Amino acid sequence: MKPQTKLRSIFANAIVASQWLQAPLYFGLIVAQGVYVWQFCVELYHLVCGLGGFKAQEIMLMVLGLIDVVMISNLLKSFIEIEKLQKTDVYVQMGIHFLFIISAMGLAYVAKITETAVAESRPAHKPAE
């Protein structure tokens, strides 16, 4: 075999073998997605078990949290299979996820303002002497 052909063969084999460097990355993504599934199940359990004790705002924030977990999971899947998707589809998914994050932050801010306003409107109770 010619030295040039042997060098090409070594180089080609190195490129093919380098795909195994990505295996730990994909395994890490699988583990991370497993963590999100676990978090989703825990949050869903808390929502279902404590249904009678939550205010409407708390339920809405918990449901938004569940949606957030699902959206992140779908984004991990989209980015793993990104070569199969159109750029616009990925951008739309990212935009939707970003809007959910912004709306969740807005709802949390409104809940904080509401709680503060309610607390300030209540008369202060003096401790019994």
Distance CA(78)–CA(84), nearest Å, equals: 9
pLDDT number for residue 128: 59
pLDDT number for residue 24: 87
Instruction: Please report, in tens digits, the pLDDT of each residue of the chain (129 residues total).
Output: 677 788 888 888 888 787 788 788 888 878 888 888 888 888 888 888 887 788 877 887 888 888 877 777 776 766 667 777 788 887 887 888 788 778 778 877 887 787 777 777 777 665 555
- Domain extents for the chain? 3-121
Label residues 96-106 b or e (16+ Cβ within 10 Å = b).
ebeebeeebee
110 and 55 Cβ atoms separated by less than 8 Å: no
pLDDT number for residue 108: 76
Residue with tokens 């970003």: 98
43 and 20 Cβ atoms separated by less than 8 Å: no
